């Protein structure tokens, strides 16, 4: 009988402490999403999402792929969104417009964390 009570007490302690030791706090996350077609007018929906987590880098997501929050990542994402125009001057202006909107989206997502 004493053994049963001892085992029961141990089981209760383990069951109570298990949820606290097995969960990992990943921090707060905040995301922003925008249809870039509203900016680009390319004829189809192009939803881009940026998610920022406390103590981690923000990540852009488009069409099932993730792009890092860096100059190269934003440039690659703007190329992936790409509407094709006739001359390169228009392409560069479009790319700068996309990148400025991506940075603004990230800033809005960061405000949601703090």
**What is the full DSSP assignment across 94-111?**
HHHHHHHHHHHHHHHHHH
Please check whether residue 16 lies inside any domain of the structure.
no
Please check whether residue 54 lies inside any domain of the structure.
yes
Please check whether residue 91 lies inside any domain of the structure.
yes
CA–CA separation, 35 and 49 (whole Å):
9
Domain count, the chain: 1
Q: In the predicted model, what is the mean pLDDT of residues 18-40?
A: 70
3-state secondary structure of 50: strand
Please check whether residue 105 lies inside any domain of the structure.
yes
Please check whether residue 37 lies inside any domain of the structure.
yes
Residues of the domain holding 72? 29-113
3-state secondary structure of 90: helix
pLDDT for 38-93, tens place per residue?
877 767 788 899 999 888 889 999 989 999 999 999 999 988 886 655 456 677 88
CA–CA separation, 36 and 103 (whole Å):
13
Please check whether residue 5 lies inside any domain of the structure.
no
Please check whether residue 12 lies inside any domain of the structure.
no
Instruction: Supply the pTM of this predicted model.
Output: 0.68
Instruction: Return the DSSP state at 15.
Output: H
Please check whether residue 38 lies inside any domain of the structure.
yes
Q: Is the pLDDT of residue 25 over 90?
A: no
* 48, two tokens: 């881009």
């Amino acid at each position: 009988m004493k053994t049963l009570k001892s085992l029961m007490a141990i089981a209760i302690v383990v069951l109570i402490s298990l949820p606290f030791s097995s969960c990992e706090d990943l921090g707060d996350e905040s995301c922003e999403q925008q249809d870039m077609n509203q900016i680009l007018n390319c004829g189809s929906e192009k939803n881009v999402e940026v998610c920022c987590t406390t103590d981690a880098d923000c990540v852009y997501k488009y069409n099932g792929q993730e792009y890092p929050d860096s100059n190269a990542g934003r440039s690659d994402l703007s190329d992936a969104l790409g509407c094709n125009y006739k001359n390169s001057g228009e392409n560069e202006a479009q790319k700068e417009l996309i990148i400025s909107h991506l940075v603004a989206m990230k800033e809005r997502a960061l405000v949601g964390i703090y």
